[in-house]
Structure formats: structure tokens, C-alpha cells
Amino acid sequence: MNEIEKMKSGMWYDANNNPDILQQRYACYDMCGTLNQMKMSDPGRNELINKILGYLPDNLELLSPFYCDYGSNIRLGENVFINFNNYFMDGAQITIGDNVFIGPSCGFYTATHPIKYHERNKGLEKALPIKVGDNCWIGANVSIMPGVTIGSGCVIAAGAVVTKDVPDNSMVGGVPATIIRIIDAN
């Protein structure tokens, strides 16, 4: 397997030295840099978003600055709002459901690194997918860690660090995030 195949399979891969991975990541960084310099009213924004993601999500509102590593591993549902200064570290798939509001300065981090420094120093990492269900609100400055699934109808309080799966219709907050209460879905 090459390093990109390893990355997509959730295996340890060389994220920092492999030329194919670096080329893809830098091309995406360049496109995000261009997007972040465009006026929100520029009609070319949607064309560039389409190029970054590989498709144009229905009724997406994406505010700049926005950053991602590859773009092609991001799947956004309908009616998604992404506020200023969000980062999608999309070595693995990041799936966002329909009608999701994402506050400013949030991070979706699929990468994890070896605990032992001699392995970490080789540039190895593993990417684990993140999934956010429909009808969620993610507050400002939230960090969502590798491998986390957030159910539908959830509220993630500002500043939360989500390290574990969140059941449907839950409000979570804190570091690490814990359930504050269950939300009546009716």
C-alpha cells in the first residue's frame, strides 16, 4: 500500500515526509489561501469551494478564513453554516450532516500521533473519521478529536473538547466534554 492508501485505511502512514501526501496537502493549502483572500461576494468562491471539496454542497455558507488539509475527505450535508476560522484536518473522512451550524474557530482533528517519541519523530500519524449527525449546533472554539461520532440533534457547548462519541439529542460541554443534559427532541 502507498501512504495515501494507508491514510485512507486508518493505518499508520508517513504524513510529513511522503511527497505524494505533501503535494496534495500543499495544493489544498494554496486553494484555501486563495479562498481566504476572496471577498465573500466574489462569484468565483463557489467554483473554488467546488475545486477544494470536489463538489458544491447544497446551500452551504462557508465564511473565511477556512482551512483544510485535503478537502476531498470532507462531506457536508445540506444547509451547513461554517463560521469564521474553522480547520478541518481531513486525513480521514469528516462527515457533517444536514442543518448543522458550526461556530467560529472550531477544529475537526482526524489525526492522531504515536505516544512514543521515536515513532512520532518518523512523521507517522493515523487518521480516524469524524461524523456529525443532522441538526447539530457546534459552539465557538470546539475541538472534535479523531474517531468521534456526534449524534443528531446535539449541542456542543463553546470551548468543549469532544474526545468520545456523543449520543443523539445530547448537550455536552467541558474538557473533556461530558453530557450536560439530554435535549427533548419534540
Q: Could you tell me what percent of the chain has a pLDDT over 70? A: 99
Q: Name every residue whose Cβ is closer than 8 Å to that of residue 80 and which is 6 or more positions away in sequence.
A: 57, 59, 60, 61, 96, 98, 99, 100, 101, 102
- Write out pLDDT tens, residues 5-53: 999 999 999 998 899 999 999 999 999 999 999 999 999 999 999 999 9
Q: Is the pLDDT of residue 123 over 90?
A: no
Closest CA to 74 of 84, 65, 87: 87
Which domains does the chain possess?
3-182 (2.160.10.10)
SS3 content of the chain, % helix, strand, coil (to 5): 20, 30, 50
Find the catalytic residue in 8, 45, 51, 113: 113
Q: Is the pLDDT of residue 186 over 80?
A: no
Active site residue 113: yes
3-state secondary structure of 3: helix
